[in-house]
Chain A
């Protein structure tokens, strides 16, 4: 399998801010343009989404790109995918690029599953003969054989996502660019997708992978690039990249044990996260806890569309990016949620965690349906001491207090 390479040098991208929207143009209407031309133009407000990004990707490398929302990850992927051109700098790509910035691009609700496979495949750059050859494999991967001639508007959202991902997963480019698409479907399907991604990486293909799912980044990638404020903060081994990223994520929340998002919250498609707070037993917001005391994680969010069966997922991750555990409120929340503000609380019992730093990752989804807000780190906290060993740190991600008994046998 031949694989491609990428070289970027001094890539920068500037957006002009027009009426709260980032667009590359200054005017929205002809009338506005005439008025402004007559008045003499005011300097538009600009924003550098990327500044001076330079790196090289050798053939067969699998690179993870991580960073906070707004760090420039998507802009970088768009430039490398040739979707938009940089304002400055140079980009060289050797090999065919397949970019999966979304699944189901171009899917039309009125068309059947079969028609959409061919449509979507062609949009992703596959030849008709290639799609014909892989057609059975694609359909089998998605598990939608029985509904091939049904318009996809009658598909469940899970089926729709599976078919959409199946086409993308059978793309065969020399360079694969993936943005967060693994965050679709139920856990079983996600696992299948991750497996497929792993196969792709093992085939020696060049892969650029953007995700908030640090576990996936760690298991797939060998090298990591950390973006922050549009600039490259780190480029090196993936473990170190994750550690850097998490420590900067921690910087933002560790001091006070809370993050709040102004003006409408951190908005996703159908909900917006307003704030996340860590509280001790007395209800005080803290970032430092004793190993014996329970920790409550309070998430405030606003639902903007009617949701059914949505769940919140919390993952506790160590500063090295290893997942300590994941938990969800699926069993307790099956009802419909009307638009409005909600507070979801989760309590981690005392005498469970080890004496170290933990990062709280939160995501929202509909099981076997769609992702509402991808899992990403919000804040971190430190546990002082260890449950049954006083001050010294024991090895292990957790240090639960277990029941011991010794009796003469």
Chain B
């Protein structure tokens, strides 16, 4: 035998160097392999583009579909608030509800589609390798496009009602980003769990519905009051995201800094833990679905 020292096999000497992969069966937890996801960024865009194309080819309403959902909900809530006399932070109820719904639906829709994405991609997962994280991540992009369309309508609506945007509107991407990060974090948990437990799929819409009522979308957080009720509201990271979004667009009550920091911390923990759990499930995903 040759006199090479013991150690891992070296890659072939010939240029260009070939990619080397080593798979070892082991049960321990591993770091999420984000470098592999980066290598497959082209596939990410291709899948996102596919979802968008299919979506707008299949539905007769096309672009209108992105607006119909928040618009209908807004009309219902405005009607209810008219009778129930719910405070809307000194803003016209139409604008108040619509702005809250737009950012909430971005979160809820992208979380739901990310959560369902793995089970819907069975034919891909069992037949070809790529980092599975690409699938739920791509499904968030579709929701972002719907959001962008709905946002244009919001700005038009504000123009019509004479509501001028506040200068802090430049911070809008921060809150949109936070909402997407939260959606991806919870969505990854849902998608991984749903491959293990089939009933997660049926529980998720119900929980999302309840979650909406625990988030200041239909009411400003000021109506909740202080003390433990406020703490409870702040533990929901979407409270700060929705409030922050409204603050950027409408310029009314800003979320408190502690509430915002708490939300960021929770989102980071959820997203981080979801990446770990997802990578653990990913290894044998093809056998699970």
Residue numbers of A with Cβ under 8 A of B are: 2, 4, 11-12, 15, 22-25, 27-31, 33, 59, 78-79, 81-97, 99, 101-102, 105-106, 108, 110-111, 115, 118-119, 122-125, 127-128, 174
Contacts and interface: CB of A to CB of B under 8 A. Distances in A.
Nearest to B121: A106
Contacts of A90: 22-25
Interface stretch (B13-21, B66-74, B151-159, B259-267): B13-21
Nearest to B283: A85
A78 B127 CA distance: 8
Interface stretch (B105-113, B192-200, B225-233): B192-200
B199 to A, nearest CB: 4
Contacts of B24: 90-91
A30 B123 contact: no
B25 A89 contact: yes
Contact of B197 (A22, A28, A89, A122): A28
Contact of A84 (B43, B46, B196, B286): B286
B288 A2 contact: no
Given A23-B287, A95-B18, A82 B53 contact: no
B54 interface: yes
Interface string B123-140: 111111110000000000
A102 B124 CA distance: 10
A252 B123 CA distance: 34
A101 B127 contact: yes
Contact of B42 (A59, A115, A128): A128
A78 to B, nearest CB: 6
- The majority secondary structure among interface residues of chain B is mixed
B54 A110 contact: yes
B209 interface: no
A124 B57 CA distance: 24
B214 interface: no
Contacts of B123: 102, 105-106
B20 A94 contact: yes
A30 B200 contact: yes
B92 interface: no
B244 to A, nearest CB: 33
Contacts of B18: 2, 4, 94-96, 174
Given A79-B23, A81-B129, 6 more contacts: A23-B287, A83-B129, A91-B23, A106-B50, A123-B130, A128-B46
Nearest to B15: A2
Given A24-B288, A33-B197, A84-B283, A99 B129 contact: yes
Contacts of B127: 83, 101-102, 105
Nearest to A8: B23
14 contacts: A23-B287, A28-B197, A28-B198, A82-B21, A90-B23, A91-B21, A95-B18, A99-B129, A101-B127, A101-B128, A123-B46, A123-B130, A124-B128, A127-B42
B170 interface: no
Interface string B12-53: 101010111111110000000000000000110011001001
B284 interface: yes
B198 A29 contact: yes
List the 7 shortest-distance A-B pairs measured between CB atoms, nearest first. Answer: A24-B287, A82-B129, A122-B46, A91-B23, A30-B197, A84-B286, A29-B199
B23 A85 contact: yes
Contacts of A23: 287-288
With a 10 A CB-CB cut-off, give which of A2, A99, A122 has the most chain B CB atoms.
A122
Nearest to A30: B197
B162 interface: no
Contacts of B53: 110-111, 115
B58 A85 contact: no
Nearest to A6: B21
B86 interface: no
Contacts of A99: 128-129
A345 B288 CA distance: 41
A66 to B, nearest CB: 21
Nearest to B20: A94
B90 interface: no
B287 A15 contact: yes
A87 B283 contact: no
B124 A123 contact: yes
Nearest to B51: A108
A84 B47 CA distance: 21
B11 interface: yes
B7 interface: no
